[in-house]
Structure 1
Amino acid sequence: MTATVPPVPVPETAAPGAVTPTTRGDVLVRVRSAARGPWTTSLLAGTLIALALVAEHLADRPDLGAPPMLLAAAVAGLPIARRALSSLRTGSVGIELLVTVAAGGAIVIGERWEAAAVTFLFAVGHALEAMTLGRTRRALGELLDLAPSTATVLRDGIQVVVLAGEVLTGETVVIKSGDRVPVDGRVLDGGAAVDEASITGESIPVEKSAGAQVFAGTISQGGFLVVRATGVGQDTTLARVIHRVEQAQEEKAPAQRLIERFARWYTPGIIVGAVVAGVVTGDVELALTLLVIGCPGALVISTPVSIVAGIGQAARRGILVKGGEHLETAARITAVAFDKTGTLTRGRPVLTDVIPAPGTTRDDLLHWAATAEAGSEHPLARPVLVAAERAGLTPPALPDAVLPHPGRGIEARTGTHRVLVGSLRMIEDARLTLDPATRETVRALAAAGRTPLVVALDEGVLGVLGVADELRPEARAAVDALRAGGATLVMLTGDDARVARAVAATVGIQDVRAGLLPEDKLDAVRALQAQGHVVAMVGDGVNDAPALAAADVGIAMGAAGSGVAVETADVALLAADLLRVPEAVALARATVRTVRQNVAVSLVTVTVLIAGVLLGGVTMALGMFVHQASVLVVIANGMRLLRTRRATVDVEGAATPSAR
């Protein structure tokens, strides 16, 4: 097919520097946004504190310094008090209430500097927290930015630029060099290299031609494509990925839920403890200081900042994690069960061996085999025909007659010739003579895990072809990475035992369970769990569904374009790349380790501060400063996950991601 694509008119644009109603509106929106931004309160309060200090110390006028100091406490403290009241209305005693009470008490006892410093530092910490948490969600923002706003479609033979959401399923979309693909679809015509890193994480552009699938949000890096839209709007792979990441980042991990339950009791406990300390010692400032330094802010933020960053980083790499709970579970994986077909292998057979009999050439063997297979719909016919074409042989026409022998092979007649392609049994049933060398070739191919096809022409055997499912090139490296940490590795397959053992030997898996039905795979996963393992099941097909659901972590391979896999799998690998399995475990372990580090920093900081207050030397302002510093340390530590490169994995020990 050759599409004739007419040019699209270029819309007129405003003169450079012209101020349009739209630009004026944008400026007003930016001004209002800046005025309401998290830094406005901090900057205003900081300015007032600076004026008060200048008046008190440089001008030696404490009377002039008091009003701006009180105003600074009010400017920074009122938003905190509003949030505290809002929490109280819902029955929650939060960090803001502790700061509000402490600041109010400081003003009552005449400690204006303490009140202003505490509220100012808390406001700065809140602004920094909002900014840095926003950065941890940048992966989702980057995904949103991938969605193109417009698309060029062919309507009545004319190129029309429409909003991407207005493209209809089945419409023809034109994609030029440098364009972002606006829909999921199949290429009708043209060719281009498409950067799919945003969807699958694959760094090398993929060549696309007629029949290939393309995904919304990917980028054409040269060439020209005419695409039939199969998924538009919210039905694209990109939209499903964004939806899944949004949900995953909002879902709470078990550690986060535990800390939040702890904080609900801890915060009222701090208030009671501060009151008791004040009553016993008669020192109101001590009680107020305990309120400030007892804030569990770093503890509360320690888990979500790491989980959100971990899920966001995984999404960048084409690994979709369903939520924090599954990320935590993935960090504890001790056994990995692999499906074979479509997982360890590509799921499409290739011709691996062409062994002609004495007196027959390789080309003759391929030619007659392809002649017979040209009339077959069997999956093994395709690799024979592809090999013949690559060998430069003229693609055969359809034979005159075709007689399939189910489970054994095919018989074809062309002119006066009869061609047989099939199993050893089929050739024996045809009463043809096989020499010992041919029999040994058949046996050796079967032992190597390949399917032997004996080819016969009329009354003589021409030779043997070997066909096998192509092993994924990264399979051995992925298996080795998982085994390096002591993971138990198992292959669960419904295929023939000899084929399964041959594939397992190649990739390095010792435990092979072949000839399994879907319910048998389910039983195998449960048996591993009964042995105390945390089990990940890696598969790609419907027959893997029960085992994927029963496993502690179900990992779906090659989920790009599969809405079911994206929505249902605990972990979905958008690219069919087995190396993403150890990579996902590595990132999960790094995330959990970061959570533990953050919790430790939070608890140690609070403990040291409380000891410092009770022993003397830690003031309210100093306590708040150290507390806010610990919050920033926790956030910065969590954000390191966004800077990790691809990692190796130690399944029993810690993951070892490298940082830029």
Structure 2
Amino acid sequence: MKFVIKHEIRGRLRVHFVYKNMTFRQADILQYYLMGRENIISSQVFNRTNDAVICYSGDRQAVLDMLKRFSYEKVDVPEQYLENSGRQLNEYYKEKLINKIFMRYACRVVLPMPVKIALTSYSAFKYVLIGIKTLAKGKLEVPVLDATAISVSMIRGDINTAGSIMFLLGVGELLEEWTHKKSVGDLARSMSLNINKVWLKKDGTEIMVPAKDIKKGDIVVARMGEVVPFDGEVADGEAMINQASMTGEAVPVRKIKGNYVYAGTVVEEGEIGVIVKETSGSGKFDKIVYMIEESEKLKSSMEGKAEHLADKLVPYSLGGTILTYLLTRNATKAISILMVDYSCALKLAMPISVLAAIRQSNDYKITVKGGKFMEKMSVADTIVFDKTGTLTKAEPTVVDVVAFEDRSKDDLLRIAACLEEHFPHSMANAVVNAAKSRNLTHDEFHSKVEYIVAHGIATTINGKRAIIGSYHFVMEDEKCVIPDGKEELFKNLPPEYSHLYLAIENKLSAVILIEDPLREESVETIRELKKNGISKVVMMTGDSDRTAKAIAAQVGVDEYYSEVLPEDKAKFIESETEKGRCVIMIGDGINDSPALSKADVGIAISNGAQLARDIADITIDGEDLSQIVTLIKISKGLMKKIHRNYRSIVGINTALIILGACGLIQPATSALLHNSSTLAIGLSSMKDIEI
């Protein structure tokens, strides 16, 4: 690709690509390519000018060589990314805003007065009609105030004031619509499916294949804790499906042969084979957008209060106008008050502030499903961590396999991987990755796999019952025994590692030793959480007390609980909320789901179980635990911004009302200052929060 360097400073390049105009699609392909490079920190592609701004780390020449190698045809970009990038949406609203401003001032300069009156009257009709319809419903709300202000200005022959009011109202509506759609689009994209591989049922066996290879009519398998990858019809099996992300239903729905299932829903219990009806991702994206726009989750209590207060203030604005006229008999002073209201700014600034904060969080790879969760984050005082895959690294590794029967370590690891690959979790991934690194193929040779939440997995291999899981599950619940003569070996298992137990026919076959190192950022994250208002940090894990105690001491939590079941975590959170504490729960596994749903704010790790992500209110990137601190800072900043907006709105509009009532400013000036301040506060609300 040919390009010219237009500007350069250390770590930053602005380049211009030398060819014909860049399309939206090409700009998105280039953006996707740049952000997929390890040494690129951030990038912006401008399709109008054929430019790109690139911030990088490391070798400058490596970046230039990368740009030279770039070709649109060679980049494999998911079609869903291109379909829903949001670039075209932004361009549409930019053009609409520019055209609106240009037409406003062009008409003022060029058009003769009779034409101006006709156009203004035509535009005013829309606002007056909305005001009348609002009154007809028995409501005295903001549209009535807007309609009255415009009507009075028109009756008095003040065309410029009426036009200014409508222009500024229109710009405010456009900015609100743009910000809302962009924020919703960003949020929907982050919530969209990101499935790379699926289980394909073919000739009676199951094989894992890339999702992009699936065609209409294929049968894919979805098990407990997994997401349904495509829209389709149940071919076999039975499952309880969590459809909350699609329909808002709180209770899982039973699905049997012949029932229809939707991509993005989650299997809570059971297993189904699905005949694929639709492989395109756009339908899922549209459904998510609809769900977000309809969901009351986008409303924080602050937004609700603002809207309620805005409507309550309308009668006072009208009453103040009438009272001023009765006292002064001065129509100009009365109309000056009518031109000012608190409602416009309150209704504009609060939702924009919240949606802008959600969008900013998304820039940090944090998905927030609604404004009320950010509000809860800002006042939270307790946080509960799961251990494995949360405080510890998301990719634990297998250190050794201790055999308790006459099989090789590789054979035992192969069996374990064959079972664990069906239920993705950090410990399961460790086993699967260990088998892969040793080139151990593990074709399906077992019967149906059953997942027992927070315990382990059970199946049948060559007619023999095989189980894998925790000590509690294998040795206590299932009453498995240690083979004769192996008691000393069992007693001397290294205590510094986590243990995964494999048993066949009620006899212990192997113990897999897994190293689960602490995340580098865990200690600093907990320290920062305490600095930012979290007074109680708790760790809860199903692991042994020995392991839990060691981790708790390293990270500096206030309390820890070991060998807990999913219901224990949920009960603990319930007890804390009953004490009046605001609780955050963070986890990554299926077993964390009950606790995530009970917490004031449930946070899931993005590379954890799909069920956890679906139930959670917020999802953070699995690479960096410190994002929780970032989110708290954004949430606290959002609340400060909202309170600052309240003070600004009340202060500015009160001053304008007083100036108008005293006759110090004319109605046109009052309207201009009011709408300008509303617009300024709205634009300010769109800015990112400093953290």
Residue 497 to residue 371, structure 1, CA distance change in 2 (3 Å):
same
Corresponding position of 1:536: 584
Aligned CA distance change for structure 1 residues 478 and 133 (closer, same or farther; 3 Å): farther
Does residue 269 (structure 1) correspond to residue 328 (structure 2)? The answer is no
Structure 1 CA distance for aligned equivalents of residues 362 and 636 of structure 2 = 16
- Structure 1 residues 279, 170: closer, same or farther in 2, change over 3 A? same
1:536–1:554 contact (8 Å) kept in structure 2:
yes
Aligned-residue sequence identity (percent) comes to: 23
Structure 2 CA distance, aligned partners of 1:354 and 1:372? 8
1:640 aligned counterpart, secondary structure: coil
Q: CA deviation at 1:247?
A: 4.1
Q: CA separation in 2, counterparts of 1:605 and 1:560?
A: 48
Give the residue type in structure 2 aligned to 1:505. A
Written as runs of structure 1 = structure 2, the 5 A alignment for 1:359-378 is 369-370=409-410
Shift of 1:592: 2.4
CA gap of 1:522–1:581, structure 2 versus 1, over 3 A, is same
* Alpha-carbon offset, residue 337 of structure 1: 0.3
1:489 aligns to what? 537
Counterpart pick for 2:662 among 615, 622, 625: 615
Distance (whole Å) between structure 1 residues aligned to residue 428 and residue 669 of structure 2? 78
Instruction: Give the Cα separation in 1 of the matches to 2:629 and 2:655.
Output: 39
Q: Paired residue for 1:255?
A: 302
Give the corresponding residue for 2:397.
Answer: 350
Q: 1: CA distance between counterparts of 2:466 and 2:318?
A: 84
Query: What residue number does 2:181 align with?
Result: 137
Match of 2:642 in 1: 595
Q: Judging changes above 3 Å, is the alpha-carbon distance between structure 1 residues 39 and 271 closer, same or farther for their aligned structure 2 residues? A: farther
Task: Report the CA distance between 1:49 and its aligned residue.
Answer: 3.9
Q: How does 1:18-167 map to 2 (within 5 A)?
A: 46-47=105-106, 49-50=108-109, 67=114, 70-71=117-118, 73-109=120-156, 112=157, 114-131=158-175, 133-141=177-185, 167=216
Q: Which deviates more from structure 2 when the two are superposed, residues 522-531 or residues 464-473?
A: 464-473
- Is the 8 Å Cα contact of residues 310 and 342 (structure 2) preserved in structure 1? no
Work out the CA distance in 2 between the residues paired with 1:538 and 1:342. 10
Report whether the alignment pairs 1:330 with 2:377.
yes
* Contact 2:497–2:514 (Cα < 8 Å) also in 1: no
2:597 counterpart residue number:
549
Deviation at 1:510, TM superposition (A): 3.6
- Alpha-carbon deviations, 1:480-539, whole Å to 9, x = none? 432332412101122211111122233332411112223321222133224432101112
Instruction: Look up the match of 1:430.
Output: 485
- Alignment partner, residue 313 of structure 1: 360
**2:585 aligned with 1:526, yes or no?**
no
- Residue range with higher mean Cα deviation, 598-607 or 322-331: 322-331
Distance 1:263-1:510 versus aligned 2 partners, 3 A rule: closer
Aligned counterpart in structure 2 of residue 500 of structure 1, from 540, 548, 573: 548
- The residue that corresponds to 1:515 in the other structure is 563
Given residue 517 of structure 1, which amino acid in structure 2 is its aligned partner? L
In 2 relative to 1, CA 336–229 (structure 1 residues): closer, same or farther, beyond 3 Å? farther
Structure 2: which 5+ residue stretches go unaligned?
A: 1-91, 194-211, 221-228, 233-262, 265-274, 421-426, 446-463, 472-480, 502-510
Instruction: Return closer, same or farther for 1:132/1:468 CA change in 2, 3 Å cut-off.
Output: same
Query: Aligned partners of 2:357, 2:284: CA distance in 1, in Å?
Result: 21
Q: Secondary structure at the match of 1:137?
A: helix
Q: Is the CA contact 1:244–1:322 (under 8 Å) kept in the aligned structure 2?
A: no
Residues 549 and 618 of structure 1: CA distance in aligned 2, closer, same or farther (over 3 Å): same
Taking only aligned residues, the RMSD between alpha carbons, in angstroms, comes to 5.1
- In the TM superposition, 1:355-434 aligns within 5 A as 369-370=409-410, 430=485
1: CA distance, partners of 2:151 / 2:465: 93
Q: Is 1:339 matched up with 2:386?
A: yes
State whether residues 491 and 513 of structure 1, in contact with CA within 8 Å, keep that contact through their aligned partners in structure 2. yes
Q: Distance in 1 between matches of 2:106 and 2:671?
A: 19
Deviation at 1:635, TM superposition (A): 1.5
Map Cα deviations across residues 352-407 of structure 1 (whole Å, 9 max, x no partner): 4799xxxxxxxxxxx96446656667879996897698689999xx9xxx999999
Displacement of 1:303 in angstroms is 0.9
Structure 1 pair 236–351 and aligned structure 2 pair: CA distance change class (3 A)? farther
CA spacing shift, 1:144–1:521, aligned 2, 3 Å:
closer
- The size of the alignment, in residue pairs, is 493
Q: CA deviation at 1:465?
A: 8.6
> What is the DSSP-based 3-state SS (H/G/I as helix, E as strand, rest coil) of the residue aligned with 1:489?
strand
Q: Does 1:572 align with 2:619?
A: yes
* Pick aligned residue for 2:675 from 628, 634, 642: 628
Report the CA distance between 1:293 and its aligned residue.
1.6
- The aligned amino acid for 1:131 is L
Instruction: After TM superposition, give the deviation of residue 311 of structure 1 in Å.
Output: 2.5
- 1:123 aligned counterpart, secondary structure: helix
1:29 aligned residue: none
User: Do the aligned partners of residues 243 and 515 (structure 1) sit closer, same or farther apart at CA in structure 2, a change above 3 Å counting?
Assistant: farther
Cα distance change on mapping 1:544 and 1:479 into 2, 3 Å: same
- Residue in 1 that maps onto 2:10: none
Residue 457 of structure 1: aligned partner: none
Deviation at 1:560, TM superposition (A): 7.9
1:585 equivalenced with 2:632 (yes/no): yes
Give the Cα–Cα distance (whole angstroms) in 2 for the partners of residues 433 and 580 of structure 1.
45
Output the amino acid matched with 2:320: G
Q: Give a deviation string over 1:11-42, Cα, whole Å, max 9, x none.
A: xxxxxxxxxxxxxxxxxxxxxx99x9788787
CA distance in 2, matches of 1:559, 1:394: 24
When the two structures are superposed, what TM-score results if normalisation uses the length of structure 1? Answer: 0.61
**Contact 1:136/1:312 (CA < 8 Å) preserved in 2?**
no
Query: Is 475-484 or 520-529 further displaced after alignment?
Result: 475-484
The question of whether the paired residues in 1 share the 8 Å contact of 2:392 and 2:517 is answered with yes
SS in 2 for 1:293: coil
**What amino acid is the match of 1:615?**
C
Cα distance in 2 for partners of 1:106, 1:87 equals 20
Q: Alpha carbons of 1:45 and 1:405: their partners in 2 closer, same or farther (altered >3 Å)? A: closer
Amino acid at match of 1:85: I
What 5-or-longer segments of structure 1 have no aligned partner?
1-32, 56-64, 149-162, 172-181, 186-215, 218-227, 356-366, 410-424, 454-463, 645-655
Q: Does the C-alpha gap of structure 1 residues 635 and 294 become closer, same or farther in structure 2, counting only changes over 3 Å?
A: closer
- Point out the more displaced range, 575-584 or 535-544: 575-584
Q: For residues 230 and 475 of structure 1, what CA distance do their matches in structure 2 show? A: 44
Letter in 1 for 2:170: H
Q: Which amino acid aligns with 1:117?
A: T
- Structure 2 contact 153–161 (Cα < 8 Å) conserved: no
Residue in structure 2 matched with residue 62 of structure 1 by the alignment? none
Deviates more, 1:590-599 or 1:472-481: 472-481
Instruction: Decide which structure has the larger Cα Rg and report it.
Output: 1
TM-aligned CA deviation for residue 304 of structure 1: 0.9
